[in-house]
């Protein structure tokens, strides 16, 4: 038997010498019987049928997720998560820290979590996005939401930050309204008090910075706070000294609903890596600068490249010894005069920013990095919708 094939216009003949074994009959076959129409069971038939989940223990007693046995444990093990055991009466939920700028919300967040998850500065309006920190307790899990300070907005950025806070208030289980002990209650505090008066969540008034005043002044402030609104509780605290932190945690946990844990054991924040790096650089840049610069400064992570990975970045040759992670960051200001402030004479100030920021980033990443900082100008970016969108606001 021979067959022909054509390749590149040339005829080739291939001789087949082995016999061909046919496993299917050759020639005409009988026509196939028409397929029966598909019939789906009715809802009544489905409800009356056998229960596919019969015999499976679906009780939510937390045992499956805690010891790794059963469906919940198998899912957690497959995902590499360690779900905390949930005793009877366990509570979990979201607690929002709210207040005007520079009332100690971020410092208090870090004190409650037990480690740094939010940047801190004595400059107002340091926080520009919601920062989540997770407090793990034997009887509860408190997910703290540190919000930007509410203020009378002068720019589109300020308006969007206020809107972010108001949106957050609709999704939390308890609100912690922070009022500093060393400042008299003012229009900003009264504005926020009116704003949260209609909130469905209970409001705990937290008098922060209690260590900065004497006992009599603290007592007077507590009395003034009590007259400011109808609060579920009033708690004075000092985050700097760690005083009354456990008391506040107890109060916040008591207002949370009964619930299994929302985050795995050991997870203290869900902040993205690049956002944390940007915030640490901004914290370093805010130290010791003039009043107008903090509001005009944005930090953008351009690239993070690990030389030990398989995908090369665009940074060119690896800088620094020991295969350090390459981190490239841009500091954005609104005017050239502000750019000169950030850079400093002969680049001295930018070098200081780099030293401080690198230390914080290395503590966060737990490895050495090479930090490459650049300063650029984006005129009036705080009021430019396109720039705000580009910078993540």
Q: Hey, is 63 helix, strand or coil? A: helix
Top pLDDT among 54 and 138 is at 138
What pLDDT digit, counting tens, does each position of 134-145 carry?
A: 899 999 999 888
State the pLDDT confidence band at 3, using cuts at 50, 70 and 90: very low
Q: Name the token pair of 220.
A: 């007077």
State the average pLDDT for the chain.
74
**How far apart are the C-alpha atoms of 106 and 241, rounded to whole Å?**
15
pLDDT at residue number 13? 39
State the pLDDT confidence band at 126, using cuts at 50, 70 and 90: very low
CB 288 within 8 A of CB 352: no
pLDDT at residue number 342? 87
pLDDT at residue number 304? 87
Give CA torsion, residues 74, 76, 80, 81, to 10 deg: -150
pLDDT at residue number 168? 65
16 has a pLDDT exceeding 60: no
> Percent of the chain at pLDDT above 90?
28
Bridge partners of 13, per DSSP, are 4
322 has a pLDDT exceeding 50: yes
pLDDT at residue number 71? 41
Tell me which of 181-185, 269-273, 336-340 is least confident.
269-273
Q: Please state the length of the chain.
A: 393
* Sheet with strand 233-236: strands edge to edge: 131-136, 140-146, 91-98, 174-180, 203-208, 233-236
Maximum separation of any 2 CA atoms in the chain, in Å = 111
The single residue listed with the structure tokens 């050239």 is 336
Region 126-133 average pLDDT: 57
State the pLDDT confidence band at 159, using cuts at 50, 70 and 90: low
Measuring CA to CA, which residue among 259, 273, 235, 20 is closest to residue 111? 235
pLDDT at residue number 90? 94
pLDDT at residue number 12? 40
Region 81-93 average pLDDT: 73
State the pLDDT confidence band at 48, using cuts at 50, 70 and 90: low
Measuring CA to CA, which residue among 303, 279, 296 is closest to residue 377? 296
The single residue listed with the structure tokens 């579920």 is 232
Other CB atoms within 10 Å distance of the CB of residue 109: 27
Region 272-290 average pLDDT: 80
**How far apart are the C-alpha atoms of 44 and 48, rounded to whole Å?**
6
Going by C-beta distance under 8 Å and a sequence separation of 6 or more, which residues neighbour residue 86? 62, 65, 66, 260, 261
pTM score > 0.85 for this model?
Answer: no
* Sheet with strand 325-333: strands edge to edge: 298-305, 325-333, 369-377
375 has a pLDDT exceeding 70: yes
293 has a pLDDT exceeding 70: no
**DSSP for residue 143:** E
218 has a pLDDT exceeding 90: yes
Region 334-350 average pLDDT: 87
Tell me which of 16-30, 303-317, 364-378 is least confident.
16-30
State the pLDDT confidence band at 310, using cuts at 50, 70 and 90: very low
Region 55-71 average pLDDT: 44
pLDDT at residue number 255? 96
Q: Inter-axis angle of helices 187-196 and 215-228, to 10 degrees?
A: 40
232 has a pLDDT exceeding 70: yes
State the pLDDT confidence band at 19, using cuts at 50, 70 and 90: very low
Region 107-121 average pLDDT: 77
CB 135 within 8 A of CB 141: yes
Q: How many helices (H) and strands (E) does the chain have?
A: 13, 11
**How far apart are the C-alpha atoms of 222 and 235, rounded to whole Å?**
9
Region 139-160 average pLDDT: 69
Beta-sheet strands, E only, within 200-334: 203-208, 233-236, 298-305, 325-333
**How far apart are the C-alpha atoms of 367 and 370, rounded to whole Å?**
10
């Amino acid at each position: 038997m021979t067959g022909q094939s054509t390749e590149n216009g040339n005829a080739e003949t291939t001789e087949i010498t082995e016999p061909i074994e046919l496993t299917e009959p050759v020639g005409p076959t009988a026509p196939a019987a028409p397929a029966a129409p598909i019939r789906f069971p009715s809802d009544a038939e489905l409800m009356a049928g056998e229960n596919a989940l019969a015999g499976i223990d679906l009780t939510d007693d937390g045992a499956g997720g805690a010891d790794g046995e059963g469906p919940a444990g198998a899912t957690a093990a497959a995902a590499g998560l360690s779900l905390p055991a949930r005793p009877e009466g366990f509570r979990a939920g979201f607690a929002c820290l709210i207040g005007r700028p520079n009332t100690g919300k971020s410092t208090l967040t870090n004190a409650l979590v037990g480690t740094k998850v939010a940047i801190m500065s004595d400059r107002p309006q340091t926080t520009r996005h919601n920062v989540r920190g997770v407090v793990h307790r034997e009887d509860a899990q408190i997910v703290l939401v540190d919000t930007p300070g509410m203020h009378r907005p002068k720019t589109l950025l300020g308006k969007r930050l206020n809107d972010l806070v108001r949106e957050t208030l609709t999704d939390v289980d308890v609100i912690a309204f922070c009022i500093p002990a060393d400042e008299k209650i003012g229009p900003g505090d009264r504005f926020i008090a009116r704003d949260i008066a209609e909130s469905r969540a209970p409001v705990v008034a937290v008098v922060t910075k209690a260590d900065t005043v004497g006992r009599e002044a603290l007592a007077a402030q507590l009395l003034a706070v009590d007259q400011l609104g109808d609060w579920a509780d009033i708690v004075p605290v000092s985050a700097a000294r760690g005083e009354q932190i456990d008391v506040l945690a107890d109060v916040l946990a008591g207002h949370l609903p009964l619930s299994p844990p929302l985050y795995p054991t050991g997870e203290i924040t869900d902040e993205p890596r690049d956002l944390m790096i940007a915030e640490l650089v901004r914290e370093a840049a805010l130290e010791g600068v003039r009043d107008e610069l903090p509001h005009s400064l944005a930090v953008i992570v351009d690239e993070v490249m690990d030389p030990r990975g398989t995908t090369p970045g665009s940074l060119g040759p690896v800088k620094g010894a020991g295969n350090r992670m390459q981190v490239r960051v841009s500091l954005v200001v609104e005017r050239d005069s502000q750019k000169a402030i950030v850079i400093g004479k002969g680049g001295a100030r930018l070098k200081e920013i780099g030293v401080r920021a690198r230390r914080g980033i290395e503590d966060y990443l737990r490895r050495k990095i090479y930090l490459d900082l650049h300063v650029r100008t984006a005129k009036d970016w705080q009021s430019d919708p396109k720039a705000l969108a580009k910078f993540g606001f």
